[in-house]
Structure 1
Amino acid sequence: MVKNKVTLITGASGGIGCELAKVFAQSKHDLVLVARRVDVLQELAVELGKEHNIRVYVIGMDLSEGGAAAKVYDKVKELNLEVDILVNNAGFGYVGLFHEEEQQKDTDMLQVNISALTELTKLFGRDMAKRKEGRILNVASTGSYHPGPYTAVYYATKAYVLSFSEAIAEELRPFNVSVTALCPGATKTNFAKRAGRRDNSAAMEPKLVAKAAYKALMKKKSVVVPGLANKLLVILPRRLVKGMVGKYQKRLSKR
């Protein structure tokens, strides 16, 4: 009997993470879904398990807490699972003046967007390298390419994700482990609401972003930027985009 591939997805309770779970389920991957909202994950797990005849495991975890990544890894080992594909999707941001926001927001963001992602990549990437097989998808952003006034810390964390992912993609290639950085632009998720801004009417559907990410991951591409407008945005000079981003974020933050 051929075993299904196992894919672990963080931030799977909504948005791009939820849509990625559906895409992998359609391809008969068993899933490990990680997020804070356990009730939502359990509903999704039941739905995908029944519809696609796969096994779906749920791990309730707040990745903003120190040591959370190691706890996720340990729980996976307790389940006696080997993760074939790691999807580091969890992340958040806010819109506002950096000097006026609470420090805890920045601390939590750095923990989720950088520290937890890095630790999960090391823990599961090390296992993949030993097995000489695996794939990693790290969710960055079009904001990885430019400074982001009014979203300064968020854009900076995503710049780290892109740089980190491209670097370790080179390191892990000899071990038959691929690393793909997904750089979506504005997407129709709860991200905008949580960030404290209005939705962008031109935002992409998360389903389309997830499909583009899956396709690029399977092709072992190092970077994928879904959508023509987003592709054009990332090639513009930083000095031009910085001002555009500032005006855009400031306008969306007004209610």
Structure 2
Amino acid sequence: MTNQENKSAKTALITGASSGIGYELAKLFAKDGYNLVLVARSTEKLNELGGQFWDEYGVETVVITKDLSKEDAARDVYNQVKEKNITVDILVNDAGVGTYGLFATETDWEKEKSLIHLNVLTTTLLTKLFLKDMVERNEGKILNLASIASITPTPLMAVYAATKAYIYNFTQSLINELKDTNVSVTALLPNATDTDFFNKAGATNAKVTDNLDDAVVVAKDAYNALMKGASKVIPGGLGNKAQEIMAYLTPQETLAQMMRKNMEPKNTAQTEEKSNKAAWAWGIGIAAVVIAGAAVALAYNNSNVVDKARYRYKAGKLKSGADDVYTDVKDALLSGLDNVKDAVATAKEVVAKARETFTEAVS
């Protein structure tokens, strides 16, 4: 890529770009020829990344060193971008932190106040400033990092989960406000991911860290969804998506208890751990059945009159097949699944059987 071509390229601004999901997203943008504005606290690391992206992809990088948890940090970033006459085509609000422990007795207020400022205030103001420019141009995209915790109560990380619930709700509201424009906003809801997040939050001993998603996979799924203008993306496989369905179906008290066990230290009683895994397995199994049912309903509604007649004629067979599937899942769960991966495998079988039965019913 020549310098002239590079100067005409679009630009993505990424906060929290020095590591984790933000870094992986920056690589994807650079690979696709986007110039970058990278924002984080480490000047040395950002400069290193800028050199790397220039050498590998020939894209220009502007580095803004900023602690985004500080007052007016977002406005200062925006002002620096405007002073450099840079048009931000895509904004990625990736920077975020967490705290771990009992809110009443173990966590520190100053850290929580900083967390709220970074996760909520900075993200909101950056969105407001750059979104206004995008709407005026009638073009642009924004990716806001929420979390799977944004749709579940999360004891031991209560303030973090609350800030992510704000981001998710905020994003979905903006999507509706922007529906008549060419500007899109996407919420990213990853599950626990293999980054430095848990280390910084003081939660490296939490049970949830035993099963972490790959930041590379999370970033790739997020990038693809952002480019499509999707309203949200839950990266990873069926287990993560089933967890979303479970969050909507399970009573909040039960969900909070399940999440509490998932966030507890690893050295708790083994019986409690098995109980927690069984609960998650049940939830994932139920969610998978719901997903399969929704797929069948959608296919039925989109069928023509003849296919609908065939479907109704063979509905008894479908019910019988579904009952058999339910029995299989129930027996497997009652016998004790070793881990959630086994539950996911069972859930996949549920979906496959439901799809097979439906196909046979309408053929």
TM-score under structure 2 length normalisation? 0.68
What does residue 191 of structure 2 align with? Answer: 185
Name the amino acid aligned to 1:234. E
Higher relative contact order (CA 8 A, sep 6+): 1
Measure the CA separation in 2 of the matches of 1:233 and 1:223: 15
User: Residue 16 of structure 1 aligns with which residue?
Assistant: 21
Establish whether residue 225 from structure 1 lines up as the match of residue 234 from structure 2.
yes
Q: For residues 43 and 170 of structure 1, do their structure 2 counterparts lie closer, same or farther at Cα, with a shift above 3 Å needed?
A: same
SS in 1 for 2:185: strand
Q: Deviations over 1:179-225 (max 9, x none)?
A: 00000001000001011122623211101000000000011000100
Which of 236, 253, 259 is residue 239 of structure 1 equivalent to?
253
User: Which deviates more from structure 2 when the two are superposed, residues 223-232 or residues 238-247?
Assistant: 238-247
Greater than 6 Å deviation, 4+ residue runs: none
* Alpha-carbon separation, structure 2, partners of 1:40 and 1:170: 37
Shift of 1:253: 9.0
1:194/1:253 CA distance change after superposition, 3 Å = farther
What CA distance in whole angstroms lies between the structure 1 residues aligned with 2:93 and 2:132?
15
CA deviation after TM superposition for structure 1 residue 41, in Å: 0.9
> One-letter code of the match for 1:217?
L
Distance in 2 between residues matched to 1:247 and 1:38, nearest whole Å: 39
Measure the CA separation in 1 of the matches of 2:112 and 2:70.
13
Aligned partner of 1:150 among 156, 165, 175: 156
- Between the aligned partners of 1:170 and 1:140, the Cα distance in structure 2 is 17
Structure 1 Cα separation of the partners of residues 176 and 63 of structure 2: 32
Query: Quick one: distance in 2 between partners of 1:14 and 1:192?
Result: 13
Is residue 215 of structure 2 the alignment partner of residue 206 of structure 1? yes
- Whichever residue aligns with residue 246 of structure 1, its letter is R
| CA distance in structure 2 between the partners assigned to 1:253 and 1:19 by the alignment | 32
8 Å CA contact 1:96, 1:253 repeated in 2: no
In structure 1, the residue matched to 2:283 is none
Letter in 2 for 1:152: A
1:89 lines up with 2:94 in the alignment:
yes
User: Which structure shows the bigger proportion of residues in helix conformation?
Assistant: 2
Checking the alignment, whether the CA contact within 8 Å between 1:198 and 1:252 is kept in structure 2 is no
The secondary structure found in structure 2 opposite 1:245 is helix
Distance 1:172 1:253, change over 3 A: farther
Amino acid at match of 1:155: A
Aligned to 2:145: 139
Q: TM-score, normalised by structure 1?
A: 0.96
Alignment partner of 1:98: what SS?
Answer: coil
Equivalent pair of 2:96/2:118 in contact (CA under 8 Å): yes
The amino acid of 1:231's aligned partner reads K
Alignment of 1:1-255 (within 5 A): 3-100=8-105, 101-198=107-204, 200-227=209-236, 228-236=238-246, 237=250, 238-252=252-266
Aligned-residue offset at 1:247? 1.1
Distance 2:31 2:155 in 1: 39
Q: Structure 1 vs Structure 2: percent identity of aligned residues?
A: 46
CA-to-partner distance for each residue in 1:133-155, whole Å, 9 max, x for gaps?
Answer: 00000000000001110000000
What amino acid is the match of 2:66?
Answer: M
Q: For residues 165 and 178 of structure 1, do their structure 2 counterparts lie closer, same or farther at Cα, with a shift above 3 Å needed?
A: same
- CA distance in 2 between partners of 1:187 and 1:67 (Å): 29
Measure the CA separation in 2 of the matches of 1:5 and 1:240: 46
> CA contact under 8 A between 1:9 and 1:86: conserved in structure 2?
yes
One-letter identity of the residue aligned with 1:221? A
Q: Which moved more, 1:46-55 or 1:243-252?
A: 243-252
Structure 1 regions of 5+ residues with no counterpart? none
Paired positions, count: 254
Query: 2: distance between equivalents of 1:253 and 1:229?
Result: 25
